[in-house]
Structure 1
């Protein structure tokens, strides 16, 4: 088959690196060639704070519009950047196996978070990370208006502009910058954003429709998507994002989640923070898996996330998030 999968991505180094990885896997699974198509988003061109732009969803809109228009066949997103609400006409068709979901510290002189002197300047634009920082190290100065690609942010530590930055492990690893990391935070102590470390491959709903280039291409693409989908990852990120949706919090809200599948059970921890770090509400829930089938995994995800949302709301999470 001569058709090529046109894979939409942002043009940043990280987006291109993770898209290349996902596209290569998808092309191999589908038996098709692929090409990357870069799309410029509002989040790439604006220098404004992400919260003022409406959260990290600003990175997804232009890509989704290009997909709806038929200019590309699939989009690879960082799942934590996607709003939880469904986008009309599109569906997440696959979630490849998740990378490291943790946050990492990049600090001067090889320091850990605990070892940073009082008054040290630490950069992050994430409300969730800011709240977690203020909860454990209120004596640090948080530089909140902090944007730029990973190399730029690491460079601000090297230049002495800040003493440390907090980044997603998956992004640092995908760009082969692991040597800059001075500490990796345990998820049990420092839970991260819903879906962090995972990718989402989005397609038009009903890909065999008139928007598909041929029925044969649509069948090959569907086969490839099914092969690259990792059912355990799909279930855990579904549980995490369902908490965000249930709390009606945006993807930049101070909400942290961590879900895992272990020993025949799906475990979920969800926390909501006051923006100043003064209050933290946490819910821990688990569901027994009848099997490891995709359907049972997703059913367990729905069950534990709803119980977590109910508990957090009863504790007053609405007033925090």
Structure 2
């Protein structure tokens, strides 16, 4: 009998595209029969700003509840939307290879951020992006927006906004890179911890060895460092924090920035760590257990966060209020 797996996801075009990719890859590699179930989350129904309803973690809660109660076997998240705290009874089963982690500007007439006129209206729902925009262009007007990728892009094509800032990964997965007028360099515009990566969660007691066929160990190391920054800062998913980790050989290089909400100031920390050699990811019944490499990556993230906190990051960005 063909093994069957039920995967739950949000109902947005991007969430469905991402989950479809994961399901197709699992079927291709293992022959498992995948069905997809759509779950409506608070983040999908509320029109309030993400910061006011608890940050991007609101997208994960309903999916996790469905998984715990047995309505599905797996859930697919955008990893940047996943809170750093462990969820009782669930494990992170796999992190597939990361897509482009950069942010992208989608502006009218193909303009770059530098080319937009003073007073230009730029849309985003992310406090981090607000701070970054105002840091580089304090003369623009940043407009809080919600909605899926097409809804946001339509605000530019209609003339309501001059530009929006979106994740390059989502635009790639939706085949909408034609809308991009500029990609922001991670060196000056670090993105949300985990941006560009997907997270597949499973129940702790289940045995789903197929997940290891889609797990990417190098992505897991980078993600462990970036999310450790967020966890050690005790900041929520929507806090004005950017982090970017890059693996070069056995060296993991991590840069993190905490911004004042209005972009008027920022604190940055850059550190590297040589990871243990010859380490392979440990595997639990459902998927991953922390490897020595991931533990070292997480310690690097914690060290960066401690340096930021020592420099006054908590007061700068009011991180406690963003948790």
* TM superposition score normalised by structure 2: 0.93
Partner Cα distance (2:263, 2:166) in 1: 19
| SS in structure 1 of the partner of residue 205 of structure 2 | coil
Partner Cα distance (1:267, 1:259) in 2: 5
- Does the aligned pair in 2 maintain the 1:101–1:170 contact within 8 Å? yes
Query: Partner residue of 1:76?
Result: 76
Q: Which moved more, 1:104-113 or 1:293-302?
A: 293-302
Partner Cα distance (1:292, 1:300) in 2: 13
Aligned-CA RMSD value: 1.1
Query: Partner residue of 2:158?
Result: 159
Displacement, 1:296? 3.9
Displacement, 1:235? 1.1
Partner Cα distance (2:221, 2:250) in 1: 13
Partner Cα distance (2:84, 2:26) in 1: 24
- Does the aligned pair in 2 maintain the 1:232–1:297 contact within 8 Å? no
The 5-angstrom pairing of residues 270-285 of structure 1 reads 270-285=256-271
Query: Partner residue of 2:204?
Result: 205
The 5-angstrom pairing of residues 3-14 of structure 1 reads 3-14=3-14
Partner Cα distance (2:295, 2:231) in 1: 16
Query: Partner residue of 1:181?
Result: 180
| SS in structure 1 of the partner of residue 92 of structure 2 | strand
- Does the aligned pair in 1 maintain the 2:275–2:297 contact within 8 Å? no
Query: Partner residue of 2:288?
Result: none
How many matched pairs?
307
* TM superposition score normalised by structure 1: 0.93
Deviations 1:136-165 (A, max 9, x none): 000001102x01110110110000000000
Q: Are 1:234 and 2:230 counterparts?
A: no
The 5-angstrom pairing of residues 1-321 of structure 1 reads 1-144=1-144, 146-207=145-206, 218=207, 221-222=208-209, 224-291=210-277, 293=279, 294=281, 295-319=291-315, 320=317, 321=319
| SS in structure 2 of the partner of residue 5 of structure 1 | strand
Partner Cα distance (2:177, 2:302) in 1: 36
| SS in structure 2 of the partner of residue 287 of structure 1 | strand
Partner Cα distance (1:155, 1:19) in 2: 24
Unaligned ranges ≥5, structure 1:
208-217
Partner Cα distance (1:299, 1:318) in 2: 24
Partner Cα distance (2:275, 2:52) in 1: 41
Partner Cα distance (1:280, 1:7) in 2: 40
- Does the aligned pair in 2 maintain the 1:30–1:225 contact within 8 Å? no
- Does the aligned pair in 1 maintain the 2:85–2:231 contact within 8 Å? yes
| SS in structure 1 of the partner of residue 164 of structure 2 | strand
Partner Cα distance (2:182, 2:103) in 1: 9
Displacement, 1:292? 5.5
Unaligned ranges ≥5, structure 2:
282-290
- Does the aligned pair in 2 maintain the 1:67–1:74 contact within 8 Å? yes
- Does the aligned pair in 2 maintain the 1:5–1:27 contact within 8 Å? no
Consecutive aligned runs of 4 or more in structure 1 exceeding 4 Å deviation: none
Q: 1:80 to 1:292 in 2, by over 3 A?
A: farther
